[in-house]
Amino acid sequence: MLLNLDKVRQYFPALAGEWTFFDNAGGSQTLKKVVDRISEFLLSSDVQLGASYGVSQLAGERLALATRGMATFINANSSKEVVMGPSTTMMLKVLSMSLGQTFIPGDEVIVTNCDHEANIGAWVALEKQGMKVKVWQVRPDTLELHLADLELLMSQRTKLVALTHASNVLGTINPIKEIAAFVHDRNAMICVDGVAYAPHRLVDVQDLDVDFYTLSCYKVYGPHHALLYGKEEHLLRLPGLNHYFIDQTDIPYKFQLGNVNFELSYGMLGLCDYLSELAQLHYGNETAPDLRHKMVQAFDLISIHEEHISDRLLNYLNSKANVRVIGQAKADRQFRVPTISFVVDGINSSTIPAKIDQHYIGIRYGDFYAKRLIEYLGLASQGGIVRVSMVHYNTLEEVNNLIEAFEQIF
């Protein structure tokens, strides 16, 4: 079954304009349904929670509904495991500050060199209190993480392994379920940055058996907002960072400093609405009866389409003798997302997007806050990489137009 792109694109008002958006890993376009939910909250329930009067009760019910919706989106066991906040960077910093209080000097954290800095810097900061931070590097020949290398790094003092679900540069999907089991067998926890994965594949934190998981709402068709998942047992035992009088059993509130943005949280129900309608639109009478399985159906369609358009672009780039794809060369949806990075021999990456701008196509160059990876690959002096980051609302025609524009440059 093919994704009905004409119907899909109608859900995103920005797509009616003249620009083609291939910078989606930096932020996707926003669903009209999300905007409508935000507006609904602000126009009819924009009050403080916890009072006895009706509008305050309505606001509380809406926030609870949104939190349950996002719990369903990641398949959390309970909405208590969903901490909402302003950004993934901030959520990981909050987590590191809390976890850091439970560690002692000499304890170890392992980070990777292929993550966004959000899931590195928050842990490196713990070195100031005596923690030891080790780096799990991708192998230079495959640009992949290998468990054998992780095993060499882990010790009895290892408390946490932090890594990305999908690289925002390489597009590679890491086998998180396998890695989580490996880490747990060695009595450590795992924290996964799912920002570059969640727009493309449905997250299932229970199946993955991760301890912590983060994602950015503005990269899954929503507003500038974020989510941190933590197993309830961890959130209960970790020290909160909110006001001293907030009870330590009050989760997720004890991690939501200054409370949470009500309207943006409620807006994420629009994503749930969209995925439900997407399943209904394509499966009709065979649509799953519950929201979670509708999401499964929707993401099956999404991943198939994304593989199709990725295959077209990767085949083109791989056909060019002077182009090097940074990451997996094949579009297999089991192993990569449609975030495609490359460099061109003899051309500084910084010069390419500006020429593509002339065609009303938005792409980007740089290190994408995966600076350690770009430096490891020796690409900083070349302006980093050129990145084309697609999502399911992009079309094959748009990819072909981009290829035509590339043909004028390299």
pLDDT of residue 218: 99
Distance, in Å, from the CA atom of 59 to the CA atom of 78, rounded to the nearest integer, reads: 20
What is the per-residue pLDDT across 76-97, written as a single tens digit (0 to 9) for each?
Answer: 999 999 999 999 999 999 999 9
Q: What is the CATH number of domain 34-271?
A: 3.40.640.10
pLDDT of residue 135: 99
Report how far apart the first and last C-alpha atoms of the chain are (Å, whole number): 35
Distance, in Å, from the CA atom of 382 to the CA atom of 374, rounded to the nearest integer, reads: 10
pLDDT of residue 15: 99
Spans of the chain below 70 pLDDT:
none
pTM of the predicted model as reported, rounded to 2 decimal places: 0.98
All CATH 3.90.1150.10 domain ranges of the chain, comma separated, are 5-30+290-407
Nearest to 97 by CA among 242, 249, 244: 242
CA angle 19, 21, 24 (to 5 degrees): 160
All CATH 3.40.640.10 domain ranges of the chain, comma separated, are 34-271
Q: C-alpha distances in angstroms, 200 versus 41, 239, 295?
A: 28, 33, 12
Distance, in Å, from the CA atom of 143 to the CA atom of 326, rounded to the nearest integer, reads: 8
Q: Which helix (H) or strand (E) holds 388?
A: strand 385-389
What is the per-residue pLDDT across 355-393, written as a single tens digit (0 to 9) for each?
Answer: 999 999 999 999 999 999 999 999 999 999 999 999 999
pLDDT of residue 19: 98
Q: What is the CATH number of domain 5-30+290-407?
A: 3.90.1150.10
User: What letter does residue 240 receive in the DSSP assignment?
Assistant: P
